[in-house]
Structure 1
Amino acid sequence: MTAPTHTRHAPVAPAHRDPNVLRWLGAYTTSVTGDVIYFTALTWAVSEAAGPARAGLVLAAGAVPRALLMLGGGVLADRFGPRRVLIGSDLVRCLTVLAAALATYTRGPELAVLCVLAVCFGVADALFMPAVGALPPSLTAREELTRVQGLRSLAVRLANTVGPLAAAAALTAGGAAGAFAGVGALFAVSLVLLAVLRTPGRPAPAAAPVMTQLRDGLRYLRGRRTLVRLVVVIGLGEMCFSGPVGTALVLLTGERGWSPGTLSLLLGAFSVAGAAVGIAFSAVPRVPAPRAVLAVCLALTAVFVTTLGLARPGPGAAVALCALLGAAGGIPMVLGHALLQQDTDPAYIGRVTSVTSLCTLGLSPLLFPLAGVVAEVWGAGVFLAGCGGVCLLAAACATVKWPRTVAD
């Protein structure tokens, strides 16, 4: 297998002290926090406008274009550079959400306006996700990518912890219009931070049609066994944890008669433990045998989530299991993406990242209705055990020998 070519970097500061990486981290954190508040506010506004039953339909209206266009977003990230695509997607999301805030403030929540908002936001998200994942290799040296992914994991956990609290405060103070305005302000901050990023120059955009570049990227990925394995492992390992497990914990709390305070502790333990993992990796320059660590932690994740679902622990033990789950699940998130970026040729990083994003974030909304059906028929614990099975499959994919490919 031909070794991928990587951009040469002059000696750089560790990622957690690099001002350029910290600007990217600030832009990413504010943007992801804005995402969390946006989805909460959108669900609230649709419920006010048309009742809770329509909320799922409007969310699906945004999820469908996001999934359909995500691979195209990866092509654009490789073609024009991830920074440009990020700035464009953040600008579209900022203006769209601010327009929705104005319309909601003047006329109240209207279903048609909210549907348009969901679709436009979904299209912009399809550009944002591959580009934000493709940017780190152009900001720092290859050996610093594990630290960068640790910082990214920390940002995700922080956004998932702070976002719901900020959404509740904004909805209480200003209703849906105020929450949308707050989201727009966060995207504006992200735009400013992206604008001052320094990235190396890129060659002129390729003249090939988008579909030709997409096929070229898929051909590149398919011809490299190591990358295919990583994409499958990341996709299976993260799909359940991009929202469905959180939903299952809510349903499990209701089934077992636990209080809302217990639910807060469950979700908080999961997020805090994951954040601690992100902090630890941001300070570690190198992880020995990262692929073995990846497989072991996926297996541990499977054990913890299955035990949480089927062993019927009490509230205290469930909180402890959620902490172990957050820590074990956070390690593969960091290592998987770091290995993927280290092994991918920079010319294809956007397209490879788009495939991974599609597997994790693009398709995970399909599991939300499945979680509800399984919980209603067999209980939320069975759904969590199913998630454990998916994680165990990911661990197996990380360890078994794969068929040899052309590039190998």
Structure 2
Amino acid sequence: MIPITKEAKVRTGIWKGKFIYLWVASIFSSLSISMYLTIEQWYVVNYLNLKSSLGIILMATTIPRVLLMVIGGVVSDKYRRSKVIFFSLLTRCFMLLLMALFYTNNLLSLSVLFIFALLFGASDAFFWSARDSIVPGIVHKEQLVRANSVIQTTNQLSVMFGPVLGATLLSLFSYSTIFLIIAFTLLISIILLQFIKEKKTLRPKKTSILRDLAEGINYVKDSSFLLTVMVTFIIVNLFFIGPLMLSIPILAEDRFKGNAFYLSIFQSSFASGMLLGAIVMGWLNIKRNRGKLAISFIFLEGLLLMIFSQGINLWLAAAILLAIGCCVSSINILIVSLIQEKTPSTIVGRVMSVNTMVSMGLIPVSYGLVSTLLSINVDIKFILLCAGIVIVLFSVLLLLKASDLKNT
């Protein structure tokens, strides 16, 4: 009999057992969430004809998710993570059924939709915390990079195809029917989660949420590696997300004559790059020098941002956005895998949620800073150039000083 090598086991290990159920459940849940967000926005713009109120609904969906992310991490460490995911999806499934009922009876007004958006965002905070922290408990540590790559690939595909499926449903069915269809896709995820037999985490004594939260924050404060990671995500998100995402529609409008075709090329290139990066990371399943590699991708990300800020033609700009997307996805996968591997399972939910909350919370700040600079007539190309320089300099600083991340 031919012996199975350790590497072969690593390559095939995630494609069986608990991870398969989690992965398929993630496919249905991610698609349903992506479709819901598309339907929600179109309902406000098209059905209610309240375009000016769209921002309010989007804030109601996103702010509770950011604020409750840490609480979601506490709950994920306190209870079985599969059960936390289960109740998060079940709550949203129930809300969609209620939305179908409200719509049928002409009661789904903007104020009612606002309440549903708040609840949907709050439930989402518990889902992501539990989903990210359950992975180290169901796959071997040598499979973490590959497992996270598969999850990231699923997320990117959902972001790309969810709106398309949502738009297709809008052309075929009424809103009430669409809400029921999305609820059914969530129900499939709920059923699949029942096959994940997760061991319950034993806690020595009952503690309050505030005490658990303080324990997680203190653990992060006492770890130079985690502090370095957190500062890295803060700098990168603050100087990267806002300048890049706001520059895409502006450059498509100013430099390429406002043709929507060019805008779609830019957006598709960036999304495709993130998908490609996740696939490559999963295929390579890198185990060594992940810290140095992540720093190298941050350097390349800043350099590409500087190049993108200059006067370049359409297809070169699209290629640069593709490469930037690859960098973004690769950085996330490498660093998240390191956090999962180096953090004890009893506290990984809180650590992941603290990191996510801090990094996500600064994205609106980044948007606001760029919008403010644009309002005082600062050129978007100059903003991109400065942001790229800051990221490049920060990556050099990491390479010189951040030994905890560099040598991990």
Alignment TM class, shorter chain as reference: 0.7 to 0.9
Of all paired residues, the percent bearing the same amino acid is 22
Moved more, 209-218 or 96-105: 96-105
Structure 1: distance between partners of 2:174 and 2:374: 32
For residue 22 of structure 2, the aligned residue among 9, 21, 24 is 24
Q: Which residues in structure 2 correspond to 1:219-230 (within 5 Å)?
A: 219-230=218-229
Moved more, 95-104 or 229-238: 229-238
Conservation of the 8 A alpha-carbon contact between 1:46 and 1:54: yes
Moved more, 342-351 or 92-101: 92-101
Q: Deviations over 1:255-280 (max 9, x none)?
A: 33242222222222222222222222
SS of equivalent residue, structure 1 residue 299: helix
Counterpart for residue 97 of structure 2:
98
Moved more, 41-50 or 150-159: 41-50
Counterpart for residue 44 of structure 2:
46
Structure 1: distance between partners of 2:77 and 2:390: 31
Counterpart for residue 250 of structure 1:
249
Counterpart for residue 5 of structure 2:
none
Counterpart for residue 139 of structure 1:
138
1:133 Cα deviation after fit: 0.9
Structure 1 residues 390 and 182, CA gap change in structure 2 (3 angstroms): farther
Any gaps of 5 or more consecutive residues in structure 1? Answer: 1-10
Counterpart for residue 277 of structure 2:
277
Structure 1 residues 367 and 53, CA gap change in structure 2 (3 angstroms): farther
1:222 Cα deviation after fit: 0.8
2:144 aligned partner, one-letter code = L
**TM-score normalised by L of structure 1:** 0.87
Q: Deviations over 1:26-64 (max 9, x none)?
A: 222322222222222222222242511111112212323
Moved more, 42-51 or 123-132: 42-51
1:237 Cα deviation after fit: 3.6
Counterpart for residue 33 of structure 1:
31
Structure 1: distance between partners of 2:241 and 2:37: 14
Over aligned residues, Cα RMSD in angstroms? 2.7
Counterpart for residue 3 of structure 1:
none
Structure 1: distance between partners of 2:177 and 2:247: 29
2:32 aligned partner, one-letter code = G
Conservation of the 8 A alpha-carbon contact between 2:152 and 2:278: yes
Structure having the higher Rg: 2
Does 2:219 match 1:196? Answer: no
**Alignment length, in residue pairs?**
393
Conservation of the 8 A alpha-carbon contact between 1:76 and 1:85: yes
Structure 1 residues 110 and 371, CA gap change in structure 2 (3 angstroms): farther
2:23 aligned partner, one-letter code = L
Does 2:128 match 1:161? Answer: no
Moved more, 17-26 or 236-245: 236-245
Structure 2: distance between partners of 1:107 and 1:241: 43
Structure 2: distance between partners of 1:31 and 1:396: 39
Structure 1: distance between partners of 2:292 and 2:278: 19
Q: Deviations over 1:163-211 (max 9, x none)?
A: 2211221222235444433432332222122221132332158411100
Counterpart for residue 259 of structure 2:
259
Conservation of the 8 A alpha-carbon contact between 2:78 and 2:201: no
**TM-score normalised by L of structure 2:** 0.87
Structure 2: distance between partners of 1:239 and 1:183: 34
2:35 aligned partner, one-letter code = I
